[in-house]
Amino acid sequence: MTTPFQIIYTKPYIKHAKRFIKRHLHLLSQYEKTLKLLELNPFHPALRLHALKGHLTGLHSISINLQYRISIDLMIEKNKIILIKIGDHNFVYQ
């Protein structure tokens, strides 16, 4: 069995997440499942992990659903995942 990844919640992320959940309470269960899966296996196909380009090079994105995403800094060698932003496509990729 592989070691789970450690998820690190930054202060800006927590601020975004609180606002996101307040606006999208109906997605809370799906959001929580996404984070659990991310912790266990960030490469699971359901997360649709992909590297970002342009000014976001070095970061990755996972999907909560087809509309909402979480941008992350994935540090594979240290088994750490730093959450950066949560929101719709335009917000996360700006």
Which option is the CATH number for 6-92: 3.30.2310.20, 3.20.20.140, 3.40.1360.10, 3.40.50.920? 3.30.2310.20
Residue 34 φ/ψ, nearest 5 degrees:
-60, -45
Residue 9 φ/ψ, nearest 5 degrees:
-95, 110
pTM: 0.88
Q: Is 47 helix (H, G, I), strand (E, B) or coil?
A: helix
How many angstroms separate the CA atoms of 60 and 84, rounded?
A: 10
Strand residues in the chain grouped as ranges (E):
6-9, 50-51, 60-63, 68-75, 80-88
**pLDDT at residue 89, rounded to an integer:** 82
Q: What is the pLDDT of residues 23-69, one digit of tens each?
A: 999 999 999 999 999 999 999 999 999 999 999 898 899 999 989 99
pLDDT-based confidence at residue 74 (cuts at 50, 70, 90): confident
Contacts 24+ apart (CB under 8 A), 11-20: 12/84, 12/85, 13/83, 13/84, 13/85, 13/86, 16/85, 16/86, 16/87, 17/83, 17/86, 20/68, 20/86, 20/87
Instruction: Kindly list the domain boundaries of the chain, sorted by start residue.
Output: 6-92
